[in-house]
Amino acid sequence: MGDESYGLVIPNREVREVFRLQINEWFKRSIFSNAERLTTFWKALEEGNVENIEQYLNRILSNSISVFDTKRINGEKENSYHNLLVGILTGNAEWLVKSNIEAGEGFADIIVETDDPDAGIVIELKYVKSFNEMEQACQKALTQIHERHYQEYLLNDNRKDIRLYGIAFCKKRCKAMTEVLPVK
C-alpha cells in the first residue's frame, strides 16, 4: 500500500509544478509586461474608477488561459479568479495584500493596505453562473463586507479612508461596484 500511494504523489506534484510555472510565465507575459496598464489599474482601484477596473479585468480575462472556462466546481472557479486578482495586486510592491484574512466576523477575500497610511481597500468576490446575476452579486458582496465588518481590520490599523469593492465574475467577464466607508 505504502509504495502505491507514494507513486501517485510525485506525478501530481510535478504536474502542479509545471502548471505553477506556466501560470507564472503567463503572468509575466500578460500582466507584468504592460506596466502602464497595470499602474492604471492600481490607480483605478485606489480611486474607485469601476469603469477602468472592469475594462482592465475584462481584457485580462478575455486573453487568459482557459482556466476560467473549464467546467469546475464553483469553489475552484472562485479560487481561480481570487488567485488572479491577488497576483495582480501583489505586483504592486508598495502595497501589502492580504488574502482570506480574518477580519471582523469572518474572513475577507482580499484586504489591501495601500502606500497611503490612512487608506485601505476591502474586496469581496462572487462567482455567478449567468451574466444577469452579476450586479446583484456585487451588491451582495458589499452587503457581506458591512454585515461581517471586514473593514475592522483596516480601522484597527488606524486606516480611516477605506474603499469597499464587490466584484462579480461570470466566465470571462467581471463587474465591479464600489463605495467609500463613511468616516465616523
Q: Distance (Å, rounded) from C-alpha 88 to C-alpha 53?
A: 12
pLDDT of 155-167, one tens digit each?
Answer: 999 999 999 999 9
Looking at residue 104, the DSSP 8-state letter turns out to be T
Residue bearing the bigger pLDDT, 96 or 24? 96
Give the model's pLDDT for residue 133.
Answer: 95
Q: Which three cell numbers stand for residue 57?
A: 479585468
Pairing label, strands 119-127, 161-170: parallel
Average pLDDT of 122-144?
95
Give the chain's radius of gyration (CA, Å): 18
Query: In the structure, what pLDDT confidence band is assigned to residue 1 with cuts at 50, 70 and 90?
Result: very low
Domain ranges (residues) in the chain? 1-33, 39-180
